[in-house]
Amino acid sequence: MPNITVELLSGRTPDQRREFVAALTEAAVDILKARRESVRVVFWEIEKSDVANGGIMESDK
């Protein structure tokens, strides 16, 4: 059973998440030969104030 954890900055719409989950699931079925009903996706939302890239806080961009 593939368990896929996705970390992303908050602000994605439910429709974006649905589309992303569908694509991830399809890839797991095609590549890993997983059963569709066994593919589990969990989202962890991260606030911009919790992330820095290249020494710059995302919230400062």
2 is catalytic: yes
Distances (CA, A) of 11 to 16, 23, 48, 54: 10, 19, 10, 22
- Of the residues 1, 2, 46, 57, only one is catalytic, namely 2
**Residue of 59, 31, 33, 35 whose CA lies nearest to 46:** 59
Q: Which residue numbers are catalytic?
A: 2
